[in-house]
Amino acid sequence: MNLDILDYAFMQRALLAAVLVGITAPAVGIYLVQRRQALLGDGIGHVAMTGVGLGFLLSWSPVWMATAVSVLGAVLMELIRWYGRTRGDLALAMLFYGGMAGGVMFINLAPGGSNANLTSYLFGSLSTVSEEDVTAICLLAAFVVLVTVGLRRQLFAVSQDEEFARVTGLPVRVLNLLTAVTAAVTVTVAMRVVGLLLVSALMVVPVAAAQQLSRSFAATFAISVAIGVSVAVGGTVTSYYQDVPPGATIVLLTIGAFVLLTVAAAPLARRRTRAASRAAAQEAADPAECVIPDGRPPAGKAGV
């Protein structure tokens, strides 16, 4: 394989960023999917736009500014979830669209700024990943990995069943906040490569794809990170050779992986269903239980 792709410094930076995004996005995403907040990343992405706009307006690093604002937004969302139980969805909607509008407003207020500056943040762009962006991305990614791997048992418990986690003495609110903050940080890690509007896809779709194959949380985690890294690197390389936008390429590759694995897993799921109903039939002692599995075999078709 021709490796001239590595001769360019900007491509080295882009590939490093892609690998980190491929690891961090599914690593956080798995907890969001587990707590059925798959679209949280999307919301944070909208809020981060205000940070990017502010960065331009104040001539500060848009990456760090977006991190600050999206962390703030994530904390706000978590607070709304605690206190504004009744119409939380409306409050969140206002936060999302307010964030987006704020971004557009600030960037147009910035001297010489226009929506064009925003485009590379919205859809990702490899050539513009700067040296200092890479430093920021490395630091933030290290934080994300530390949290998602180091606290995996605690985060698993809280995301699986919050009410139960409280009774194990875990600091549920702190862990919820930490999840939201980590998701916010991940959004800004992924922002330069995938873009704010597509970042949520890389958090959620690899997890959905991995679920087709796995039975355990640990395996789902490992497979989704593997998928994330593969598609992020694959998309980056493709966009270099074919001159297509990296964010869109990565997301389409991820969805491709999902479809592929779903098709590949259908026979597997069917075999498992059969094994499970066999086990159930063996276990059930009273006739009332035995009759039901016997009536079921045609359900083998309902694989996925």
Partner 1 sequence: MTADQHRDPVISLRSVTAELGSRPVLRGIDLTVRRGEVVALLGANGSGKSTAVRTVIGQVPVTGGEVELFGTPRRRFRDWARVGYVPQRTTAAGGVPATVTEVVSSGRLSRARFGVLRRADREAVRHALELVGLADRAKDSVDALSGGQHQRVLIARALASAPELLIMDEPMAGVDLASQEVLAATLREQVAAGTSVLLVLHELGPLEPLIDRAVVLRDGCVLHDGPPPRAVGQHALPGHDHVHPHAAHDAEPIRTGLLS
Q: Which residues bind partner 1 (CB under 8 A)?
A: 30, 33-36, 38, 85-86, 151-154, 156-157, 159-161, 163-170, 207, 211, 214-220, 272, 276, 279-280, 284-286, 288-289
Token reading at 271: 């075999």
Alpha-carbon distances, residue 138 vs 70, 186, 190 (angstroms): 18, 11, 11
If the CB atoms of residues 143 and 217 are measured against partner 1, the closer one turns out to be 217
Taking the complex as a whole, how short is the minimal distance between the CB of residue 270 and partner 1, in angstroms? 13
- Give the torsion sign (CA, 220, 221, 224, 230): negative
If the CB atoms of residues 97 and 164 are measured against partner 1, the closer one turns out to be 164
Residue at token pair 């707590």: 35
Q: Is-contact 57 102, C-beta < 8 A?
A: no
Token reading at 115: 């929506």
Token reading at 268: 């597997």
Taking the complex as a whole, how short is the minimal distance between the CB of residue 158 and partner 1, in angstroms? 9
Taking the complex as a whole, how short is the minimal distance between the CB of residue 96 and partner 1, in angstroms? 21
If the CB atoms of residues 131 and 289 are measured against partner 1, the closer one turns out to be 289
d(CA 47, CA 89): 15
Taking the complex as a whole, how short is the minimal distance between the CB of residue 62 and partner 1, in angstroms? 32
If the CB atoms of residues 243 and 286 are measured against partner 1, the closer one turns out to be 286
Residue 205 φ/ψ, nearest 5 degrees: -65, -40
Phi-psi region of 60 (alpha: psi -120 to 50; beta: other; left: phi over 0): beta
If the CB atoms of residues 121 and 258 are measured against partner 1, the closer one turns out to be 258
Phi-psi region of 59 (alpha: psi -120 to 50; beta: other; left: phi over 0): left
If the CB atoms of residues 60 and 164 are measured against partner 1, the closer one turns out to be 164
User: CB neighbours of 291 closer than 8 A, spacing ≥ 6?
Assistant: none
Taking the complex as a whole, how short is the minimal distance between the CB of residue 215 and partner 1, in angstroms? 4
Taking the complex as a whole, how short is the minimal distance between the CB of residue 295 and partner 1, in angstroms? 15
If the CB atoms of residues 2 and 86 are measured against partner 1, the closer one turns out to be 86
User: CB neighbours of 288 closer than 8 A, spacing ≥ 6?
Assistant: none
Taking the complex as a whole, how short is the minimal distance between the CB of residue 301 and partner 1, in angstroms? 17
Q: Is-contact 42 200, C-beta < 8 A?
A: yes
